[in-house]
Amino acid sequence: MSRAAFALEARGLIAGHGRRTILQGIDLDLPHGGFTVIIGPNACGKSTLLRCLAGLHRPAGGEVRLEGEDMAGLTRKAVARRLGLLPQQMEIPDAITVEDMVGRGRFPHQSLLRQWSVEDEAAVSAAMQRTGTLPLARRRVAELSGGQRQKVAIAMALAQETPILLLDEPISFLDLSHQMEVLELCRKLATAGKTLVAVLHDLNLACRYASRLIVMSNGRIVDSGAPAQIVTEALIERVFDLPCAVLPDPLTRTPMVIPRPVA
């Protein structure tokens, strides 16, 4: 398979913060399509890896390639036309409406010679339709619940109309119902052909929804593959220091991790 066949690649990726090295030489291939979920214990490098893949964190060594091209040689706008990112936290002006916020996703497609267009209007409307946020269009984002805000943020990312979407902990701080809504939306987007990569903490939801897992520990990739193929009691205990049982989920037959009681 040629390198251009991958949506994203990392080769020898080394990155950190200040003098602290976090990523210890990551090699990674992400094919087009599917829903890849990165899991691992806290501070293992999951979000740092995602930010490197998005071009927002400059690596100390190695490279990231976006659809075969070295990301270091691409402008931010060129990257934003092909890759969208939903960060953990977003600064949202108090008075902004849902429609205006989603419209910000069209910025990569605009220039001095190309301002707001019919195509932009259609993209914003379609993004809100897919996320169920169209009825909220005139409301201020500050008035929304946490789950509604998260769906608006996803709508803004969808309005970019990029083939690749990265999501950093998209279900954190949401109740179970909204977590399921967001993950069902992610699965539908992947089924429709988008390439999704997300960082999640909930192992069982990751196993249920991901087509592929990337398991990290101490800045390295420990294993990767379909959940049913790689999630074992030995892997979970090794990575999370958690004695457990791994059983088939009674509804989906995907792996379900059950921690063992602490004696």
Q: Is the pLDDT of residue 263 over 80?
A: no
Dmax (CA) for the chain in angstroms is 68
**Total residues belonging to the chain:** 263
Q: Which among 87-91, 103-107, 181-185, 244-248 has the top mean pLDDT?
A: 244-248
Whole-number percent of the chain with pLDDT over 90? 75
User: What does the block give as tokens for 66?
Assistant: 């976006």
Average pLDDT over residues 135-141: 95
Same domain, 7 and 56: yes
- As for how many domains the chain has, the answer is 2
Residue 122 parent element (H or E): helix 118-131
Average pLDDT over residues 231-248: 97
List 164's β-bridge partners, or say none.
83, 195
**Cβ atoms of residues 124 and 103 within 8 Å:** yes
**Cβ atoms of residues 205 and 227 within 8 Å:** no
Q: What is the pTM of this model?
A: 0.91
Q: Confidence class of residue 148 from pLDDT cuts 50, 70 and 90?
A: confident
**Of 132, 161, 190, which closes a domain?**
161
What is the Cα–Cα distance from 250 to 194, expressed in whole angstroms? 28
Q: Torsion over CA of 88, 131, 189 and 78, rounded to 10 degrees?
A: -60
Q: Is the pLDDT of residue 79 over 50?
A: yes
Alpha-carbon torsion (148, 103, 206, 236), positive or negative: negative
Q: Report the mean per-residue pLDDT for the chain.
A: 91
Q: Is the pLDDT of residue 262 over 80?
A: no
Q: Is residue 105 part of a domain?
A: yes
**Of 123, 138, 161, which closes a domain?**
161
Q: Is the pLDDT of residue 228 over 60?
A: yes
Give the SS3 label for residue 45: coil
Q: Which residues, 6+ apart, have CB-to-CB distance to 88 below 8 Å?
A: 47, 168, 169, 172
Q: Which residues, 6+ apart, have CB-to-CB distance to 231 below 8 Å?
A: 203, 207, 213, 246, 255, 257
User: What does the block give as tokens for 214?
Assistant: 């990337």
Average pLDDT over residues 98-124: 85
Q: Is residue 244 part of a domain?
A: no
* Nearest partner of 35 among 184, 147, 236, 149, judged by Cα: 184
- What pLDDT, on a 0 to 100 scale, did the predictor assign at position 3? 41
- What pLDDT, on a 0 to 100 scale, did the predictor assign at position 5? 74
Same domain, 124 and 200: no
Range of the domain at 221: 1-82+162-232
Same domain, 121 and 150: yes
- Amino acid identity of residue 195, one-letter, is T
